[in-house]
């Protein structure tokens, strides 16, 4: 093979160009600190780096969700803690009133003063129940419920005769007192994603936190001949129960008792359907879509303008919320029903405190889980950052050494090239 001067020159230029490309690559690595500029330089490394960056963004979002969830749960726990203190104070006052030995000057019964204080505690509990977080969302209203979680009904027309005090007592309650408090939230959960596919509820619906006793709802419709005319469904506490064509009330009762929720169903009296909660909360009933099962069974109102979970007016509802319990205690104090105060009222207070403490324990357990998971997310973030640095970062000492090596090789190439290029006529003229 004949080697000409042109071939020598072309080879030298090609080698020098390759050196320049390597120089540019190494200098770019030193200036950016990254090993590759384009995915085509190393597709596998580029794919790994994209995954690491995506995972780091995920972990950052999970960290924010955990922090926000902890803040909200701590706020819920603080409100429940204040509620516990109020209930403990009401219990102390109830024990004092139940003793029946406190009398003031001019035959003023201390129980009237206690009734007034209990009425003020009722207002305080209502304020706690309608508390909001920093974004203005209700803490106990369920999932993004509009307006307050609880609304009060006032007796603006005056106190009922059964609650009035004799003129000689010299004391009485305000005419514009609260006679009922209704829950207007829902049972939705405010969820926060703390890991892929893992969600944590950061709220406690008011129909659970502010309830004193178990609830029983009994319809007044004779369901002996009931038979479902079509396939329908309804929900109890958010759990959907499907009704098949031709199902009788006994079939529906069996399905309710089989799903494992905190509600038991029975048939009482003249084939009336009765639902009984197994823990202190307000059972949440709703027909799904165009279903009318619960309405037909006499449990939900047939009024098209009825609020969600509005029981039928003909249904019998027994059981108390914390508000009902406080209102009953206030009224019993006003009437001077010492047996009821020292018996059922005191028992209802204890049941209320136990229910609140149960929810505080649940909230505390959730906070502990979030704190534990927060540590795991922090460790994962550190690990992913290290993997990303290893994948896209350079070893600076090694890269500097490569740069020096390229400089040396480039200089050698220039010197060798200068020697192998044959002198031209102009070189002799010089």
Of the pLDDT bands very low, low, confident and very high (cuts 50, 70, 90), residue 306 is: confident
When comparing pLDDT for 357 and 112, which is higher? 357
Q: Which residues of 177-189 are buried (b: 16+ CB within 10 A; e: fewer)?
A: bbeebebbbbbeb
* 299 occurs within a structural domain: yes
Do 14 and 151 lie in one domain? The reply is no
Q: What is the mean pLDDT of the chain?
A: 84
Give the pLDDT of residue 159: 42
Give the pLDDT of residue 101: 62
42, HSE (Cβ side, Cα atoms, 13 Å): 12
- What's the average model confidence in pLDDT over 130-159? 82
Give the pLDDT of residue 357: 97
Do 144 and 161 lie in one domain? The reply is yes
417, HSE (Cβ side, Cα atoms, 13 Å): 17
Instruction: Give dist(CA 28, CA 30) in Å, integer.
Output: 5
Do 303 and 343 lie in one domain? The reply is no
Give the pLDDT of residue 29: 63
Give the pLDDT of residue 96: 85
Give the pLDDT of residue 376: 94
Give the pLDDT of residue 423: 59
pLDDT tens-digit profile of 350-404? Answer: 999 999 999 999 999 999 999 999 999 999 999 998 887 777 766 567 667 766 6
* 156 occurs within a structural domain: yes
Q: Whose CA is closest to 24, among 349, 402, 411, 418?
A: 402
Q: Which domain holds residue 240?
A: 216-318
Do 327 and 310 lie in one domain? The reply is no
49: tokens are 């780096």
Helix locations, 336-395, DSSP H: 338-340, 346-392
* In the predicted structure, residue 416 carries a pLDDT above the cut 90: no
* 391 occurs within a structural domain: no
pLDDT tens-digit profile of 159-209? Answer: 443 333 333 333 445 557 899 999 999 999 999 999 999 999 999 999 999
Do 328 and 277 lie in one domain? The reply is no
Beta partners for residue 338, in sequence order: none
Do 57 and 197 lie in one domain? The reply is yes
- What's the average model confidence in pLDDT over 8-28? 72
- Domain with residue 79: its CATH number is 1.20.1330.10
* 191 occurs within a structural domain: yes
pLDDT tens-digit profile of 229-247? Answer: 999 999 999 999 999 999 9
Q: How many structural domains comprise the chain?
A: 3
pLDDT tens-digit profile of 244-283? Answer: 999 999 999 999 999 999 999 999 988 899 999 999 999 9
Do 201 and 226 lie in one domain? The reply is no
Do 96 and 198 lie in one domain? The reply is yes
Do 140 and 235 lie in one domain? The reply is no
Do 202 and 284 lie in one domain? The reply is no
Residue where one domain finishes, among candidates 273, 288, 318: 318
Helix locations, 100-174, DSSP H: 110-129
Give the pLDDT of residue 165: 34
Record the pTM: 0.79
Do 119 and 246 lie in one domain? The reply is no
Quick check: helix, strand or coil at residue 416?
helix
Give the pLDDT of residue 97: 85
Of the pLDDT bands very low, low, confident and very high (cuts 50, 70, 90), residue 157 is: very low
When comparing pLDDT for 230 and 38, which is higher? 230
């Amino acid at each position: 093979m004949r080697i000409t001067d042109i071939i020598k020159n072309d080879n030298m230029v090609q080698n020098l160009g390759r050196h320049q490309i390597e120089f540019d690559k190494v200098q770019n690595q030193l200036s950016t600190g990254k090993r590759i500029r384009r995915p085509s330089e190393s597709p596998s490394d580029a794919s790994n780096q994209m995954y690491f960056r995506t995972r780091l963004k995920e972990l950052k979002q999970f960290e924010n969700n955990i922090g926000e969830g902890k803040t909200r749960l701590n706020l819920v726990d603080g409100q429940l803690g204040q509620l516990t203190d109020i209930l403990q104070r009401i219990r102390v006052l109830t024990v004092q009133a139940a003793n029946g030995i406190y009398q003031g000057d001019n035959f003023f019964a201390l129980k009237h003063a206690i009734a007034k204080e209990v009425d003020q505690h009722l207002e305080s509990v209502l304020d706690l129940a309608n508390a909001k977080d920093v974004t203005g969302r209700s803490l106990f209203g369920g999932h993004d419920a509009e307006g307050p979680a609880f609304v009060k009904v006032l007796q603006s027309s005056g106190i009922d005769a059964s609650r009035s005090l004799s003129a000689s007592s010299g004391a009485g309650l305000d005419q514009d007192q609260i006679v009922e408090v209704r829950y207007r939230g829902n049972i939705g959960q405010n969820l926060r994603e703390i890991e892929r596919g893992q969600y944590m509820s950061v709220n406690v619906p008011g129909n659970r936190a502010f309830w004193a006793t178990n609830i029983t709802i009994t319809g007044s419709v004779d369901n002996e001949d009931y038979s479902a005319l079509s396939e329908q469904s309804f929900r109890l506490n958010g759990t959907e129960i499907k009704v098949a064509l031709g199902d009788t009330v006994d079939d529906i009762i069996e399905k309710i008792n089989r799903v494992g929720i905190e509600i038991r169903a029975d048939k009482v009296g003249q084939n009336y359907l009765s639902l009984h909660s197994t823990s202190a909360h307000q059972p949440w009933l709703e027909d799904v879509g165009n279903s009318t099962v619960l309405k037909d069974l006499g449990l939900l109102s047939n009024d098209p303008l009825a609020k969600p979970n509005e029981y039928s007016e003909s249904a019998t509802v027994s059981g108390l919320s914390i508000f009902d319990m406080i209102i009953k205690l206030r009224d019993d104090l006003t009437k001077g029903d010492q047996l009821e105060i020292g018996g059922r009222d005191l028992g209802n207070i204890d049941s209320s405190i136990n229910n609140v403490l149960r929810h505080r324990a649940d909230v505390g357990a959730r906070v502990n889980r979030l704190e534990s998971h927060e540590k795991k997310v922090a460790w994962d973030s550190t690990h992913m950052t290290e993997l990303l640095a290893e994948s896209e970062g350079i070893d600076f000492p090694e890269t500097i050494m490569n740069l020096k090596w390229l400089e040396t090789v480039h200089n050698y190439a220039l010197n060798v090239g200068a020697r192998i290029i044959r002198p031209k006529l102009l070189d002799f003229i010089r």
